[in-house]
């Protein structure tokens, strides 16, 4: 997958004008290729529903598989549980090739990569979904609710400009 090309997609671009094959999965989620996904909206940049030209791309994601993206976006924790075989994400989505939880926090705290925030998400029923590190336009999603320094993300979001 050409992540440099994906990261150059303009926010609010109509799916049909991106020049990439989009496979609809569910609830605004499209698969772009192995590990690559897009989150779309039926609403255009002016927040007006535009069925004729939409859907419109808002974010792209890397995720281990379809179950991981459902957990990340839809909070369907049953679709993806903790795994021992979490693979390394594409280099284009790393910060100076730092990708573990501990290395990302350390890099983020320098301030060189924009503002950062660390938080966790829980479903309405109180079940833990993931912890998140937001750094600039990238958000890293981790499965464990403890701070494990060598943990790899199971999904990464790139907010399009």
pLDDT tens by residue, 23-72: 999 999 999 999 999 999 999 999 999 999 999 999 999 999 999 999 99
Instruction: Compare 11 and 97 and report the one with higher pLDDT.
Output: 11
Q: Map the chain to HEC letters.
A: CCHHHHHCCCCCEEHHHCCCCCEEEECCEEEEECCEEEEEECECCCCCECCCCCCEEEEEEEECCHHHHHHHHHCCHHHCCCCCCCCCCCHHHCECCECCHHHHHHHHHCCCCCCEEEEEEECCCCCEEEEEEEECCEEEEECCCCCCCCCCCCEEEEECC
Q: Looking at residues 137-147, what average pLDDT do you find?
A: 94
What own/partner pairs with CB < 8 Å and gap ≥ 24 does 41-47 have? Answer: 44/12, 45/11, 45/12
- Work out the mean pLDDT of the chain and round it to a whole number: 93
pLDDT class for 87, splitting at 50, 70, 90? Answer: confident
Which pLDDT belongs to residue 105? 94
Range of the domain at 90: 3-159
- Counting the structural domains of the chain, the total is 1
Which pLDDT belongs to residue 98? 86
């Amino acid at each position: 997958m050409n992540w440099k090309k994906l990261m150059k997609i303009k926010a609010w671009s109509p799916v049909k004008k991106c020049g990439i094959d989009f496979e609809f999965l569910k609830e605004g989620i499209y698969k772009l290729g192995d590990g690559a996904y897009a989150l779309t909206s039926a609403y255009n940049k002016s927040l007006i529903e535009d069925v004729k030209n939409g859907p419109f791309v808002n974010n792209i994601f890397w995720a281990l598989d379809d179950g991981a993206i459902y957990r990340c976006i839809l909070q369907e924790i049953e679709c993806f549980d903790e795994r021992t075989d979490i693979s390394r994400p594409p280099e284009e989505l790393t910060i100076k090739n730092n990708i573990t939880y501990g290395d990302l926090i350390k890099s983020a705290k320098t301030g060189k990569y924009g503002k950062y925030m660390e938080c966790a998400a829980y479903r309405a029923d109180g079940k833990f979904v993931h912890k998140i590190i937001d750094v600039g336009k990238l958000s890293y999603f981790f499965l464990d609710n403890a701070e494990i320094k060598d943990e790899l993300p199971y999904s990464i979001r790139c907010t399009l400009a």
